């Protein structure tokens, strides 16, 4: 029998609207599960117990009065601790902001609240979201929902571990190089990085050169679509969002029809050198599922230029502008791996940065060319299952026992390009490795066609049964 904490956001919303389930009962159940599992997962840095129960009571009152209900009415959700929440501590995973309480919600957080969602807490992130692992001096390490000796990924690791463990069916995450899709793959979830501007980013400092995104994370494609429906749409704070109307993501998430007449471009490696046998097997099986749905599959016959060096220049120069003064004053209180990356950017000039931006445009145009003749582009999300929980950012990683080199370009070469180009990209589960840990399928769509990515994800998800599996916690 399905437990209350196992219900999807869609099912919860429908049952709440139908007066079959109480928002207060749901919230109490989720808060009790958080209390029980927090010592194992360390997925939350702040838990909004009293505030959540008060919001749940207001949600229940609205139902009983037959008031209009939002698309996530009464549904509990967590928010990554990089995203501002009015009146709720937002630390950015930093000792320097451990007592920071914003006075305003970020646009995405405000829209989730307006859609009727119940904020249950802030989920863990490495300091300022600076790596694909989730640990920080402020809270320690967060564990993978499927195996607490393994990393939950990052930088939205707490959000992913929480949703995978049933600590709320959905969450708000962020993605600057794969930070939603990486932990989604590590924990068997759906994580989408929308097209640039689809969900307004009201906190980013460089709104025009932006490559970071506020995102949904959930267990199902439909729940991701509900979050997109709540959070998407233009806002004056984000120039990329202005004039961009939200699509009908919920309709796209209904697994109707097939893929006849559609062409899917694919690559196992995207220029990377080593992929685990488990990932290879799961990815090949996923391709067969897509072929069975009627799609024509075409293997990519070219490679992108190495993306990690381009991303690193753009990202680390941005971080140097943001954090250099902070490090000069309080670097001894900050995460050494963040400090080291910021300091590395001192070697790059303004010309180096601008050349990286030129390459960004070239890669965008190359991918546009791919998608003129193909409907989607698919790859694995990661080259292997989740790393050990004590993995260091600067230590090499291993794949099938082979030392392959540094973490970023060898673990997630598939995700960074699409932060730079802005195309919509989604990870969803396509199997499990021999170690029992999830493996992700990465779907990229045409610029501003987020609904088509959701549609392909929904059709693939309906052909599999991975979402029915839960970690044994």
* Catalytic site positions: 80, 155, 179
SS (H, E, C) the chain: CCCHHHCCHHHHHHHHHCCCCCHHHHHHHHHHHHHHHHHHHCCEEEECHHHHHHHHHHHHHHHHCCCCCCCCCCCEEEEECCCCECCECCCCCCHHHCCCCCCCCCHHHHHHHHCCCEEEEEECCCHHHCCCCCEECCCEECECCCCCCEECCCCCHHHHHHHHCCCCCEEEEEECCCCCHHHHHHHCCEEEECCCCCCCCCCCCCCCCCCCEEEEEECCHHHHHHHHHHHCCCCCCCCCCCCCCCCCHHHHCCCCCCCCCCEEEECCCCCCCCCCHHHHHHHHHHHHHHHHCCCEEEECCCCCCCHHHHHHHHHHHHHHHHHHHHHHHHHHHCCHHHHHHHHHHHHCCHHHHHHHHHHHHHHHHHHHHHHHHCCEEEEECCCCCCCECCCCCCCCEEECCEEEECHHHHHCCCCHHHHHHCCCEEEEEEEECCCCCEEEEEEECCCCCHHHHHHHHHHHHHCCCHHHCCCCC
């Amino acid at each position: 029998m399905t437990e209350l904490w196992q219900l999807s956001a869609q099912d919860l919303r429908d049952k709440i609207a139908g007066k079959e389930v109480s928002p207060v009962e749901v919230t109490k159940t989720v808060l009790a599960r958080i209390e029980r599992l927090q010592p194992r997962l360390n997925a939350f840095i702040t838990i909004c117990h009293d505030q959540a129960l008060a919001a749940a009571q207001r949600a229940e009152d609205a139902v009983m009065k037959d008031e209009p209900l939002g698309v996530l009415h009464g549904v509990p959700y967590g928010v990554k601790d990089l995203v501002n929440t009015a009146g709720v501590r937002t630390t950015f995973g930093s000792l320097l902001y451990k007592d920071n309480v914003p006075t305003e919600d970020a646009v995405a957080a405000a829209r989730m609240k307006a859609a009727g969602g119940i904020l249950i807490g802030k989920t863990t992130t490495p300091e300022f979201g600076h790596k694909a692992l989730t640990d920080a001096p402020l809270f320690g390490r967060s564990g993978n929902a499927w195996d607490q000796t393994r990393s939950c990924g990052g930088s939205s690791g707490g959000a992913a571990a929480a949703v995978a463990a049933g600590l709320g069916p959905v969450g708000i995450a962020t993605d600057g190089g794969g930070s939603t899709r990486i932990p989604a793959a590590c924990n068997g979830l759906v994580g989408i990085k929308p097209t640039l501007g689809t969900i307004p980013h009201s906190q980013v400092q460089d709104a025009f050169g932006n490559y970071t995104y506020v995102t949904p994370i959930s267990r199902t494609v439909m729940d991701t679509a509900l979050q997109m429906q709540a959070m998407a749409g233009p806002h004056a704070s984000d120039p990329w969002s202005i004039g961009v109307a939200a699509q009908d993501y919920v309709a796209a998430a209904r697994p109707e029809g097939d893929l006849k007449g559609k062409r899917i471009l694919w690559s196992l490696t995207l220029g990377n050198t080593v992929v685990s046998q488990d990932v290879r097997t799961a990815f090949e099986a996923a391709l067969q599922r897509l072929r069975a749905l009627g799609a024509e599959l075409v293997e990519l016959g070219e490679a992108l230029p190495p993306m990690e060096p381009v991303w690193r220049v753009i990202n680390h120069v941005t971080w140097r502008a943001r954090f250099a003064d902070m490090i000069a004053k309080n670097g001894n209180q900050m995460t050494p791996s963040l400090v080291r990356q910021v300091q590395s950017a001192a070697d790059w000039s303004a010309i180096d940065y601008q050349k990286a931006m030129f390459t960004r445009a070239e890669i965008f145009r190359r991918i546009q060319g791919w998608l003129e003749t193909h409907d989607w582009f698919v790859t694995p999300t990661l080259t292997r299952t989740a790393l050990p929980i004590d993995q260091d950012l600067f230590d090499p990683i291993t794949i099938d026992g082979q030392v392959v080199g540094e973490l970023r370009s060898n673990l997630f070469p598939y995700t960074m390009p699409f932060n730079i180009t802005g195309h919509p990209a989604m990870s969803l589960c396509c199997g499990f490795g021999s170690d029992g840990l999830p493996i992700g399928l990465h779907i990229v769509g045409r610029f501003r066609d987020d609904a088509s990515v959701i549609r392909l994800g929904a059709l693939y998800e309906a052909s599999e049964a991975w979402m029915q599996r839960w970690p044994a916690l």
